[in-house]
Amino acid sequence: MAQASLSRLADLGLVLARDLRERPAAKREAPPPKTGIAKGYVLTKRGAEELNNHWMPEYSVYDLPEDGNASLWFADGYNLSLKDHVVRAPVIELCHQMTRQWSPLDDTDPTEQTFLSILPVGPRGASRNFLGLKAYSHFDAVLVNNRFEFVAGVYLADPLTSTATAKVSKLSKQGDPFLIAVDRPPRLLTLVKWRERIAPALAAAVEKELPPGLEA
C-alpha cells in the first residue's frame, strides 16, 4: 500500500524517486526501476508548494523564529543527501512504533472517546520552524501529537558509547523529554539507565508515556 501510494504521488509529480546509492548532485537519466533496488522519495518543487499551501493557515499562526529566518516549512529535496538512510533506520523504526502504538486518551474530551496520535517531524522540518519546533531541531526527530503539542524528541545514539552517554547527559539536563534510538538493544539498556541516573524525574515521565513493551 505504501509503495502504491508513493508511486501515485510520483506519477502526479509531487515526489521524486531516488536511488539511495546516488549522490545528490548526480545527473539522472531516468528514475530508478520500480523493483530491484531500495528507493528514497523526496519532495519536488510542486510537492513542496502543495504542502506549503495546505499548511498555510497554521504557518500564519506561529511566530517567526528569533533568528528572523522566515523560510516556508517545506522545500524540494533534489539535493537532499539520502546516504545516511541506513544510519537513521533506528530513528525511523522508533517513529513507526510510536505512530502505531501511542494512543493516550485526550484529556480535553469530556466523553472520553477521543485518543491522541503521534506525528513525527524530521530535523529538516523542525529547523524550518514547522509547527514552531525550531527550538527542538537539535533532535534527530521530534514527536508531536495531533493537537500539535510537543511530546518528545528522539536522539539517535552515537556509535561511540562515551560520546552517546555525554549527549544523553546533556539532553537530560536540558529537561525536554526524549527517546533514545540505537542499533543494538544492549546499548539501549545502558543509555536508558544513564538517562535515569542524570534525570530521574524526566526518565520516569518518558517511561510513563511509552506504549507497553516499548523501550526507548
Domain final residue, candidates 55, 82, 109: 82
Q: What is the pLDDT of residue 188?
A: 94
91 and 190 in one domain? yes
In angstroms, the CA 179 to CA 99 distance is 14
Single pTM value for the model:
0.86
110 and 68 in one domain? no
108 and 159 in one domain? yes
pLDDT, one tens digit per residue, over 188-206 is 999 999 999 999 999 999 9
In angstroms, the CA 100 to CA 27 distance is 38
Average pLDDT for residues 83-104, to the nearest whole number?
Answer: 91
Q: What is the pLDDT of residue 26?
A: 64
Provide the residue type at 185 as one letter: P
Q: What is the pLDDT of residue 130?
A: 93
Average pLDDT for residues 43-55, to the nearest whole number?
Answer: 95
Q: What is the pLDDT of residue 156?
A: 96
Domain final residue, candidates 82, 115, 137: 82
Q: Are 123 and 175 in contact (CB under 8 A)?
A: no
55 and 94 in one domain? no
Sign of the CA dihedral running 150, 43, 156, 103: positive
Phi then psi for 40, rounded to 5 degrees? -115, 160
Put residue 44 in one of left, alpha, beta given phi > 0 → left and psi -120 to 50 → alpha.
beta
Average pLDDT for residues 20-33, to the nearest whole number?
Answer: 68
In angstroms, the CA 128 to CA 115 distance is 28
SS (H, E, C) 75-110: CCCCCCCCCCCCCCHHHHHHHHHHHHHCCCECCCCC
Phi then psi for 11, rounded to 5 degrees? -65, -30
C-alpha cell read off for 212: 507497553
CA-based R_g, the chain, Å = 19
pLDDT, one tens digit per residue, over 129-180 is 999 999 999 999 999 999 999 999 999 999 998 999 999 999 999 999 999 9
Task: Give residue 27's pLDDT band: very low, low, confident or very high (50, 70, 90).
Answer: low
Pick from 1, 50, 6: nearest CA to 31: 6
Q: Are 196 and 203 in contact (CB under 8 A)?
A: yes
142 and 200 in one domain? yes
Put residue 64 in one of left, alpha, beta given phi > 0 → left and psi -120 to 50 → alpha.
beta
**Is a pLDDT exceeding 70 seen at residue 24?**
no
Q: Are 44 and 76 in contact (CB under 8 A)?
A: yes
Domain final residue, candidates 57, 82, 107: 82
Q: Please, which residues have CB within 8 angstroms of residue 173's CB and are 6 or more apart in sequence?
A: 198, 199
Average pLDDT for residues 82-104, to the nearest whole number?
Answer: 90
**What total number of domains does the chain contain?**
2
